[in-house]
Structure 1
Amino acid sequence: MTERQIAIFKAIVDEFTRTAEPVGSKRLLDLLDFTCSSATIRNEMAALEEMGLLEKTHTSSGRIPSSKGYRFYVEHLMEKQLDEGVKHSLQAVFSERHYSMDEIVKKSCDILSQMTSLTSVVLGPDSKYQTLQHIQLVPLNERSAVAIFITDHGHTENKTFHFGEDVSVKDIKTCCDLLNDKLSGTPIGEVVNKMKEIQPLLASHVARHEVLFEAFVNAFMKFASDNVYCSGQSNMLYQPEFADIEKLKELMKMLEDSSLFRQIANHDGNVAIQIGGDNDLIQIDDVAVVSSKFKLNNEEQGELMIVGPTRMQYNRVVALMEYMSKVIEDLYREENQ
């Protein structure tokens, strides 16, 4: 590609991601910082189309970037942009009060969806690498208590118990003590099966063991399930690419499938582009997923994702995700010092 072709191509990508309207030669005359004729621009656009970087739409003589074009742009031409005002705003949000790690990650996800007007997803660390360390019981009042499950990596899950006279705080405490004794050090993924093995022991020590057994099993199953949080799904309703109801249905089905995001994180069957460092771009039909990993320690990492149409402002999205990942890592480091 010549320098002129690169300038024209970059102008088309930037304008189309901003307006969602195909870009024609007349519009490019206003956008380019050098002078040439409409005929020259049309010739260069035709050449970029032959390279597979641009596509012509049925409704306009203008061009739009192709999937290959977006990949080329992200790999070679993108200049990440994030102004200092945005950084200060993000820092202010998290300095307002002390958040738990779970709250920090979810709030980051919400902020990303608000600031990009797209859908954001966060994948928490995979619990299969963790073991149960301790179960702690916190009575709330005469009729309720919270059981808190803590892993060897310091992650927690809680289960609130509301009970009548037939299930006492004493029974729940006895159940907790037995589970601590028999399950401490057990990998999270094996806890439910091991609980079934010790069910007869619970039956011999706890009056209403069936109710408690089911409650604890459900809590552990939630703990062991994929730790996926999604925010801003409704933003997709306002993207012109998904005005087609069938396309929108397919996208919503994708957003509801937490296991799919684990597959995307591993790039199974997708085209992945390493944007730099821990960032990737994955394209699935008309949908683009930009991901950024954050490291909690040497063994664990999570992943932020932005899901949207292939027409997204990659320079801003990638910069925002990189910064948010750094914020999460810094806050986690502060919390564990």
Structure 2
Amino acid sequence: MASSDERRFAVLRAIVADYVSSQEPVASKAIVERHNLGVSSATVRNDMASLEEEGYIAQPHTSAGRVPTDKGYRLFVDRLTEVKPLSGAERRAIQLFLEGAIDLDDVMRRSVRLLAQLTRQVAVIQYPTLSHSTVRHIELVQLTPARVMLVLITDAGRVEQRTVDLGDVITADNVSRMRNMLNATLVDNPLTEAAAKASELIEDAPSDLRDAMTRLATVLVESLVEHPEERLVLGGTANLTRNAADFPGSLRQVLEALEEQVVVLKLFAAARAPGTITVRIGEENEAAEMRSTSVVSIGYGAHQTLLGGMGVVGPTRMDYPGTIAAVRAVANYVGDILSGR
């Protein structure tokens, strides 16, 4: 870029930094005083006029300074060469906090709480998607002579539990036989393939276990199918209310949209590989209710296998470098924990 373009970008960067910090429109005098740009106030005013003409900044009302537009934030984010690194203490705190989790549910709850605290935004995390998981183990726990608890455990630590009425009294030895058949056939299979193999177990079952296996396989196939309504955890919604001025007339719409899990799931639709950050700013969001927000999201997983997505939702007036660093760090630790590294 030409030096004049670089200088104008430096002015834009200063406006973004000051506006994110103060929530007040930024004037040329303030830029000259707070940022060592090495140019005169007249040059800054000329650069601001050019930025406004190009749609990167706007004047909210007469005699006010300037604020970044969605287009201005987009240029700022696209040209981020450095993301504010987390301190060693922050990284250690994240690691210790998440490693203290006792199971997958606890990992999800801790992750969303931690991300909300680090970014002071609304944090969202998607449970590991079943379509990318494999069967680690299937357990049958006899509850009564004719009823068992079917427990499906995936390689990502997700646990599905269902009670199955076997229709007749069955011995502990036969429960053990069925448990062995299920594990021998399904363990280490992707869940999409395991569903088909579970159906085949009915035909392969001994005649004395066929009825019980039919009931088990039917419930198991249901467990192997995705349940989108069970896959999200949100935290830090109250953070939006502290920045109500950033959502003039639209905060209620944003909060209602966050309650619609279908809307939130679409925020992760672009996630294709672990570690890839996506930033959607204002009008770039598909849902009309979310167009006063910015969404920073990332896929998490292990060994380039995408397990799910996570991210934060907040106003367009956001600390993008700090938010991106926090989202990336938490995603990395969650991927490591779920992969057992």
Query: Residue 242 of structure 1 corresponds to which residue in structure 2?
Result: 247
Is 2:73 aligned against 1:70? yes
Structure 1: which 5+ residue stretches go unaligned? 268-276
Q: Counterpart of 1:52 in 2: which secondary structure? A: coil
Report the Cα distance in structure 1 between the residues aligned to 2:7 and 2:176, rounded to whole angstroms: 73
Indicate how the Cα distance of structure 1 residues 233 and 197 shifts in structure 2: closer, same or farther if over 3 A, else same. Answer: farther
State the identity as a percent.
Answer: 26
Is 2:298 aligned against 1:295? no
Query: Residue 328 of structure 1 corresponds to which residue in structure 2?
Result: 334
Q: CA RMSD in A?
A: 4.3
Query: Residue 316 of structure 2 corresponds to which residue in structure 1?
Result: 310
Asked if the contact 2:296/2:312 (under 8 Å) is kept, the reply is: yes
Structure 2: which 5+ residue stretches go unaligned? 286-290
- Aligned residue among 7, 12, 15 for 2:10: 7
Report the Cα distance in structure 1 between the residues aligned to 2:228 and 2:188, rounded to whole angstroms: 15
CA drift of 1:118 comes to: 1.0
Q: Counterpart of 2:26 in 1: which secondary structure? A: coil
Deviation per residue, 1:294-313 (Å, 9 max, x gap): 33124444433222222210
Is 2:138 aligned against 1:135? yes
Deviation per residue, 1:244-290 (Å, 9 max, x gap): 246425643555535413424369xxxxxxxxx72222231332222
Query: Residue 84 of structure 1 corresponds to which residue in structure 2?
Result: 88
TM superposition score normalised by structure 2: 0.72
- List aligned pairs for 1:224-243, cutoff 5 A: 227-240=231-244, 241-243=246-248
Report the Cα distance in structure 2 between the residues aligned to 1:120 and 1:331, rounded to whole angstroms: 19
- Aligned residue among 157, 166, 188 for 2:191: 188
Report the Cα distance in structure 2 between the residues aligned to 1:329 and 1:206, rounded to whole angstroms: 40
Query: Residue 279 of structure 1 corresponds to which residue in structure 2?
Result: 277
Letter in 2 for 1:52: G
Letter in 2 for 1:66: T
Query: Residue 288 of structure 2 corresponds to which residue in structure 1?
Result: none
Moved more, 179-188 or 14-23: 179-188
Report the Cα distance in structure 1 between the residues aligned to 2:336 and 2:212, rounded to whole angstroms: 45
Is 2:48 aligned against 1:45? yes
Asked if the contact 1:54/1:66 (under 8 Å) is kept, the reply is: yes
Is 2:161 aligned against 1:156? no
CA drift of 1:149 comes to: 1.0
CA drift of 1:14 comes to: 0.6
Asked if the contact 2:128/2:158 (under 8 Å) is kept, the reply is: no
Letter in 1 for 2:73: Y
Report the Cα distance in structure 2 between the residues aligned to 1:59 and 1:146, rounded to whole angstroms: 68
Indicate how the Cα distance of structure 1 residues 315 and 56 shifts in structure 2: closer, same or farther if over 3 A, else same. Answer: same
- Aligned residue among 20, 25, 28 for 1:25: 28
Indicate how the Cα distance of structure 1 residues 140 and 99 shifts in structure 2: closer, same or farther if over 3 A, else same. Answer: farther
Report the Cα distance in structure 2 between the residues aligned to 1:253 and 1:214, rounded to whole angstroms: 32
Report the Cα distance in structure 2 between the residues aligned to 1:307 and 1:196, rounded to whole angstroms: 41
Asked if the contact 1:54/1:64 (under 8 Å) is kept, the reply is: yes
- List aligned pairs for 1:196-215, cutoff 5 A: 205=209
Report the Cα distance in structure 1 between the residues aligned to 2:320 and 2:55, rounded to whole angstroms: 20
CA drift of 1:12 comes to: 0.8
Letter in 1 for 2:314: G
Asked if the contact 1:178/1:202 (under 8 Å) is kept, the reply is: no
Indicate how the Cα distance of structure 1 residues 188 and 326 shifts in structure 2: closer, same or farther if over 3 A, else same. Answer: closer
Deviation per residue, 1:161-183 (Å, 9 max, x gap): 499xx988959767756655775
Moved more, 43-52 or 247-256: 247-256
CA drift of 1:327 comes to: 2.4
